[in-house]
């Protein structure tokens, strides 16, 4: 029963005999429904893809082997030459360098040729291309047929001047029977050209053309010298659609172009068309200059950034074809030479609808400085009429524009406008038949204009404007900037407010005339503005004339401003009435510009004096009186040369102030004289002041004729005063002379000398008494006296005293103190015929000491004086005591009695 147990054996497995447990049937799960079929499909696709990759790899290796081995090179070169000739579209001599097959990103296989040269039929070089690459269809190539799908030109240089220019005018197809561009034909030509382009890039033809680093050498003398295309591509993007993109450099400016078009395959109409051109600003002003970008704009300016867009849809059913274009110019500058730079930005949008026979200008916005011109309207061919040359008509309307010249201090002018006219193609004349501007209310401007264009020269300009009842601030904006510039600037700065009742402006310049260096004449540009209620600034610090009524007229570069009436309001509140004024400006285009001002003024003396105190006249600086020191009424005339430009030496300018005054009085003494009740005139110029007047000097009626030099070069000083002295005046002004003089006398005083006065008096109508001599001259007996008067404090010295009558004379010197006789020394006294004595008189207190000496003396009047009764003697001698001492060789009395060697003390 006992059975022996077998022994255990050690079993060894090799590595390749170990089985994965997951491989046994017990480890397998039932796969989900359908997953096995998906895996099988992926395996099949993977094998197909691997096969295709292998096929492509083999084809690529084959193409590479063919390209490097040179097999079929001549055939490839011939195909390349044929393709280039077809693309050029003209008969050319084409030579190419080595040709080979290479791989291409779009067509897989490409034909590449190098060193391509194109020459015209007469052997002129037209283009040199570094490399040309043609994409080819692979399957036709395997069968020996060459079909091109794309072309790329790289590193090329094209001479545009050698390219055929074509025959005839390319615009002929766009013109109607009158030779005018027909909008309908333009629309048809645009969409026809797009259709032709789509046909050119259809699937079975060459679908894409690329340019890389292609330089176009343009003919000399043109506005553009160099065009370099960095990259350009035009190609098919789908069935019935294409795109164009380009980046280029035009004379230093970056230019980009993009366009796309799509066509409805069933209707063969353009369903969409979009194109855009952008030109970058070079950022250089005309003043800085530019070596590259300067020629892109017309000479004398700078063209800024440009953005042009075009979109369109071809007709469908009842919907007509439509083309819309927009243009934007930014940062452009027009160089006006000495007049500075005129910046301008332009935004425009236009629409062409088939069947309308016009281009609708939806927007034309021009911005320059503070001015904005916003117009809309239409342009198109004008229907033919008998006797009229073919022309285009236009009609532009602005519902809100702003005019504000940069030089003008006036607020911007908001206005409505309409411009309508024609462009005559044969005579090349742009005519504005209707110009209308309205700035509010009844204010309007009506006019006409025309531009006559010529070859190689500026156009002729004709402009006529009429203004009715418009504010001055508005009309000032309408003064042409190209006419009488300096005078215009002065008017802009010095004429304000009020209204222009009526005005007209004419500008008539023949073609070729503008810019020839000759100033415009008065027959070429002129205008007249009648103003009311305006403020008219004069010059320097002179206050403006307000409420002015007058006329502003200009002829060429000459300006005449006429003032009928106005008022000058001074800083002190005083007013001066102004009238009859003119401001004449000659040759306003030649510096320095100086106007000639003539104006009549009237007002109170204080106001006139204040007005005359302002620069550049400042006539009162020589008088030494303030305006408040004067009273009375003044009328007069002011003439002055007015500098209208800076840097003028005002000391060399001429001016004249001529005033007539009535009842003029001075509040303080003028040269020790109180002047009152003056009637007369004063004329002041840069070198002299001339005064002629009747006045009262210290209460004495006087006539004055004064000449006062104001400069070293002025005339000699002359001060002549004539006093009319009666008894009342003499008693008040010179009471000490009453015992000696009675009656009315006229005294002439010449104060031209320094510190002295030459005096002469007519004593014919006066009674002259010498009481201590018992002598008198009755009224009516001719006599005159002259002497030189000098004052020193209260002392007045009468030197060279000369009293002369028919039978008497006295020569000597007299001294007055406080107007009364102090002393006298007469070297010659002849009161009667035969007298020859010298007399001295000296006052001491209330008495006089008289000394008489000489050869002969008629003593009858003296004897009569002392032999009269006491009352008569006292009355004749006055209240003053008199002592007389005499030493006379011959003394004659009554009855021819003669005493010799008489010595007398009394």
Which range is least confidently modeled, 499-503, 510-514, 586-590, 614-618? Answer: 614-618
Listed residue (612, 634, 636) closest to 622, CA to CA: 612
691 DSSP assignment = E
pLDDT of res. 58? 47
Going by pLDDT thresholds of 50, 70 and 90, the confidence category of residue 62 is very low
What value does the mean pLDDT take over residues 539-566?
Answer: 84
The rounded percent of the chain whose pLDDT value lies above 70 is: 80
CA Rg, the chain, in Å? Answer: 56
Going by pLDDT thresholds of 50, 70 and 90, the confidence category of residue 323 is very high
pLDDT of res. 14? 61
Residues 6+ apart with CB under 8 A from 57: none
The rounded percent of the chain whose pLDDT value lies above 90 is: 17
Write out pLDDT tens, residues 807-857: 888 899 989 888 778 898 989 888 888 888 898 988 887 788 888 888 888
For the chain, how many residues are written? 906
Residues 6+ apart with CB under 8 A from 903: 886, 887
What value does the mean pLDDT take over residues 860-884?
Answer: 63
| Residues β-bridged to residue 884 | 850
Q: By CB neighbour count within 10 A (0-12 exposed, 13-18 middle, 19+ buried), where does 545 fall? A: buried
What value does the mean pLDDT take over residues 4-29?
Answer: 58
Going by pLDDT thresholds of 50, 70 and 90, the confidence category of residue 87 is low
pLDDT of res. 71? 42
pLDDT of res. 373? 92
Write out pLDDT tens, residues 678-705: 898 888 888 888 888 888 888 888 888 8
- Is the pLDDT score of 97 beyond 70? yes
pLDDT of res. 350? 95
pLDDT of res. 55? 47
Write out pLDDT tens, residues 472-528: 888 888 776 766 566 677 778 888 889 999 988 888 989 988 877 788 888 888 888
Going by pLDDT thresholds of 50, 70 and 90, the confidence category of residue 450 is very high
Which of the listed ranges 75-79, 160-164, 432-436, 654-658 does the model predict with the highest average pLDDT? 432-436
pLDDT of res. 256? 94
What value does the mean pLDDT take over residues 255-276?
Answer: 90
Classify 189 in phi/psi space as left (phi over 0), alpha (psi -120 to 50) or beta.
alpha
Q: Provide the Cα torsion 472, 477, 483, 487; round to 10°.
A: 50
Are residues 505 and 481 in contact, defined by beta-carbon separation less than 8 angstroms? Answer: no
Residues 6+ apart with CB under 8 A from 661: 605, 632, 633, 634, 635, 678, 679, 680, 681, 682, 693
For the entire predicted model, the pTM comes to 0.66
Going by pLDDT thresholds of 50, 70 and 90, the confidence category of residue 88 is low
What are the residue ranges spanned by the domains of the chain?
Answer: 72-167+204-250, 724-905
Write out pLDDT tens, residues 759-774: 888 888 888 887 766 7
What value does the mean pLDDT take over residues 314-342?
Answer: 83
Instruction: Look at residue 607 and give its three-state secondary structure.
Output: helix
What value does the mean pLDDT take over residues 121-150?
Answer: 75
Residues 6+ apart with CB under 8 A from 189: 173, 174
Long-range contacts of 766-769 (CB under 8 A, 24+ apart): 766/741, 766/742, 767/741, 767/742, 767/743, 768/740, 768/741, 768/803, 769/739, 769/740, 769/741, 769/742, 769/876
Tokens in use for 177? 């029977």
Residues 6+ apart with CB under 8 A from 233: 208, 209, 210, 211, 243, 244, 245, 246
Buried b (16+ CB within 10 A) or exposed e, 649-673: eeeebebbbbbbbeebbbeeeeeeb
Residue of higher predicted confidence among 673 and 262: 262
- Is the pLDDT score of 529 beyond 70? yes
pLDDT of res. 246? 93
Write out pLDDT tens, residues 289-318: 444 444 444 455 678 889 999 999 999 888
Going by pLDDT thresholds of 50, 70 and 90, the confidence category of residue 69 is very low
pLDDT of res. 539? 61
Write out pLDDT tens, residues 727-761: 887 777 666 667 777 888 888 888 777 778 888 88
Are residues 541 and 615 in contact, defined by beta-carbon separation less than 8 angstroms? Answer: yes
Write out pLDDT tens, residues 373-414: 999 999 999 988 888 899 999 999 999 898 888 778 888 888
Q: Provide the Cα torsion 17, 22, 28, 32; round to 10°.
A: -130
- Is the pLDDT score of 31 beyond 60? no
| Residues β-bridged to residue 812 | 801, 826
pLDDT of res. 39? 59
Which of the listed ranges 26-35, 204-213, 331-340, 445-454 does the model predict with the highest average pLDDT? 445-454
What mean pLDDT is reported for the chain?
80
Classify 523 in phi/psi space as left (phi over 0), alpha (psi -120 to 50) or beta.
alpha
Which range is least confidently modeled, 462-476, 594-608, 892-906? Answer: 892-906
pLDDT of res. 273? 93
């Amino acid at each position: 029963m006992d059975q022996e147990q077998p022994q255990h054996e050690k079993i060894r497995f090799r590595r390749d005999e170990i089985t994965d447990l997951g491989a046994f049937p017990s480890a397998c799960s039932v796969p989900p429904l359908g997953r096995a079929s998906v895996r099988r499909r992926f395996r099949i696709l993977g094998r197909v893809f691997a096969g295709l990759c292998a096929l492509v790899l083999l084809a690529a290796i084959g193409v590479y082997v063919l390209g490097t081995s040179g097999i079929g090179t001549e055939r490839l070169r011939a195909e390349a030459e044929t393709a280039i000739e077809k693309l050029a579209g003209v008969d050319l001599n084409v030579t190419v360098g080595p040709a080979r097959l290479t791989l291409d990103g779009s067509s897989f296989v490409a034909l590449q040729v190098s060193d391509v040269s194109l020459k015209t039929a007469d052997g002129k070089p037209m283009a040199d291309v570094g490399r040309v690459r043609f994409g080819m269809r692979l399957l036709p190539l395997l069968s020996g047929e060459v079909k091109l799908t794309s072309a790329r030109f790289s590193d090329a240089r094209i001479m545009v001047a050698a390219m055929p220019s074509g025959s005839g005018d390319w615009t002929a197809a766009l013109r109607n029977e009158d030779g005018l561009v027909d909008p309908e034909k333009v629309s048809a030509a645009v969409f026809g050209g797009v259709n032709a382009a789509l046909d050119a890039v259809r699937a079975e033809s060459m679908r894409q053309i690329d340019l890389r680093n292609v330089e176009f050498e343009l003919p000399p003398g043109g506005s553009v010298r160099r065009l370099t295309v960095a990259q350009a591509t035009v190609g098919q993007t789908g069935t019935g659609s294409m795109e164009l993109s380009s980046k280029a450099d035009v004379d230093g400016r970056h230019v980009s172009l993009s366009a796309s078009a799509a066509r409805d395959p069933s209707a063969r109409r353009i369903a969409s068309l979009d194109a855009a051109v952008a030109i970058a600003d070079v950022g250089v002003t005309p003043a800085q200059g530019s070596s590259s970008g300067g020629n892109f704009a017309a000479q004398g300016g700078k063209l800024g950034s440009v953005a042009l867009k075009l979109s369109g849809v071809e007709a469908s059913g009842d919907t007509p074809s439509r083309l819309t274009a927009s243009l934007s110019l930014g940062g452009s500058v027009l160089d006006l030479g000495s007049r500075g730079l005129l910046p301008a930005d332009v935004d425009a949008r236009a629409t062409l609808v088939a069947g309308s026979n016009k281009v609708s200008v939806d927007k034309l916005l021009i911005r320059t400085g503070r001015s904005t011109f916003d117009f809309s309207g239409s342009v198109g061919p004008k229907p033919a009429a008998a006797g009229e040359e073919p022309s285009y008509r236009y009609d532009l309307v602005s519902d809100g524009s702003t005019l504000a010249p940069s030089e003008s201090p006036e607020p911007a002018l908001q206005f409505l406008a309409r411009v309508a006219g024609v462009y005559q193609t044969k005579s090349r004349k742009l005519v504005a038949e209707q110009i209308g501007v309205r700035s509010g209310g009844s204010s309007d401007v009506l006019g006409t204009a025309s531009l006559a264009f010529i070859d190689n020269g500026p156009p002729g300009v004709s402009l006529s404007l009429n203004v009715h009842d418009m504010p001055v601030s508005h009309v000032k904006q309408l003064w042409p900037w190209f006419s009488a510039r300096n005078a215009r600037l002065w008017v802009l700065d010095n004429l304000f407010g009020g209204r222009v009742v009526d005005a007209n402006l004419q500008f008539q310049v023949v073609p070729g005339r503008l810019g020839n260096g000759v100033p415009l004449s008065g027959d070429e540009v002129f205008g007249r503005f009648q103003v009311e209620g305006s403020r008219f600034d004069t010059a320097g610090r002179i206050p403006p004339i307000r409420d002015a009524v007058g006329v502003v007229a200009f002829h060429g570069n000459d300006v005449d401003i006429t003032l009928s009436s106005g008022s000058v309001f001074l800083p002190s509140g005083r007013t001066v009435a102004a009238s009859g004024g003119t401001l004449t400006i000659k040759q306003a285009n030649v510096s320095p510009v100086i106007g000639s001002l003539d104006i009549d003024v009237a007002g109170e003396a204080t106001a006139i004096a204040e007005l005359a105190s302002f620069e550049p006249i400042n006539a009162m600086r020589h008088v030494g009186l303030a305006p408040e020191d004067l009273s009375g009424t003044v009328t007069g005339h002011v003439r002055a040369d007015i500098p209208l430009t800076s840097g003028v030496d005002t000391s060399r300018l001429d001016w004249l102030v001529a005033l007539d005054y009535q009842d003029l009085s001075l509040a303080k003494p003028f040269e020790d004289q109180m002047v009152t009740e003056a009637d007369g005139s004063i004329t002041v110029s840069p070198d002299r002041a001339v005064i002629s007047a009747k006045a009262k000097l210290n209460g004495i009626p006087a006539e004055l004729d004064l000449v006062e030099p104001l400069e070293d070069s002025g005339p000699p000083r002359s001060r002549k005063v004539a006093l009319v002295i009666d008894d009342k005046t003499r008693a008040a002004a010179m009471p000490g002379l009453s015992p000696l003089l009675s009656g009315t006398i006229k005294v002439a005083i010449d104060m031209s000398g320094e510190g002295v006065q030459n005096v002469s008096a007519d004593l014919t109508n006066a009674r002259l008494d010498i009481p201590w001599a018992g002598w008198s001259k009755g009224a009516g007996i001719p006599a005159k006296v002259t002497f030189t008067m000098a004052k020193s404090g209260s002392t007045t010295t009468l030197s060279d005293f000369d009293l002369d009558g028919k039978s008497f004379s006295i020569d000597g010197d007299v001294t007055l103190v406080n107007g009364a006789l102090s002393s006298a020394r007469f070297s010659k006294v002849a009161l009667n015929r035969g007298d020859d004595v010298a007399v001295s008189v000296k006052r001491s207190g209330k008495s006089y000491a008289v000394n008489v000496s000489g050869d002969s003396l008629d003593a009858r009047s003296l004897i009569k004086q002392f032999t009269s009764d006491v009352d008569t003697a006292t009355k004749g001698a006055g209240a003053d005591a008199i002592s007389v001492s005499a030493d006379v060789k011959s003394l004659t009395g009554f009855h021819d009695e003669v005493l010799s060697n008489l010595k007398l003390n009394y």
